[in-house]
Amino acid sequence: KTSAARILARVINCNDRKDGEACGKCESCLEVSEGRSMDIIEMDAASNRGIEDVRNLKEKAYLSPSKLKYKVFIIDEVHMLTKDAFNALLKLIEEPPKHAIFILCTTDAEKIPDTVMSRLVRVDFRKGSKEELKKSLDKIIEGEKIKIEESSVDFIIEKSDGSFRNLHRMFNEMILSFGNELSLNQ
C-alpha cells in the first residue's frame, strides 16, 4: 500500500506523463523515486499517533511545495491515530490546500471513523494469487539467473501469505544467505 502511494506521488508530480504513467526520467520523477523530495512527506501513525503529530502535519500542508506540483502526505497505519488526532485530520482533509494530497494507508480500515472514511476515495488491495506470485518470482529467477528447485519456489510462495512484498523480501534474504542456487535442503 505504501509502495503504491509512492508510485501515485510520482505519477501526479511527473512533468512528462504518457498515458497516465510517470516518465521516470524527469527531475520530479527522479527526486521522488530516489526518496529525496521534501514535498513527499511520510508519517508512520503507529509511532506518531497523537493530535500534535497531526497538527505538525497540518502546518506542513499549508506550506507550498518546494519543487513539485503537489505536496503528498502518506500516512501509514492511519488506523492507529487517536480519536483527537482523527478529528484534527478530518478538519484538514475536509478543506485541504489545493497543492496537498493525502494518502491514508491502513491494514484495518474498519478502525477509521466513518466521518473520515466518507471523505476519502477507498482503494482496496487484494492478496496475490499463487499464479500471480509465481509469475512475479519467475521474472526475478530468470532475470538473475538463479537456480532453484520448484519445491523451493512453492515453499516461498506459500510462506508469503499472498504478499508480493513478503515474497520478494524472503526471496532476497534467501539469496543473500545461500547464494544463487537454492533448494529446500539448505
Instruction: Find the helix or strand (DSSP H, E) in which 181 lies.
Output: strand 181-182
User: Along the 186 residues of the chain, how does pLDDT read in single tens digits?
Assistant: 888 999 999 999 999 999 999 999 999 999 999 999 999 999 999 999 999 999 999 999 999 999 999 999 999 999 999 999 999 999 999 999 999 999 999 989 999 999 999 999 999 988 999 999 999 999 999 988 899 888 889 989 999 999 988 999 999 998 888 888 877 665
Q: Of 133, 68, 80, 70, nearest to 105 (Cα)?
A: 80
Q: All 3 cell numbers of residue 86?
A: 482523527
pTM greater than the 0.85 cutoff: no
Amino acid 185: pLDDT: 67
Amino acid 174: pLDDT: 87
Q: Of 57, 99, 100, nearest to 78 (Cα)?
A: 57
Amino acid 184: pLDDT: 66
Q: In this structure, which amino acid lies at residue 166? A: N
Angle between helix axes 164-178 and 150-159 (nearest 10 degrees) is: 130
Amino acid 152: pLDDT: 86
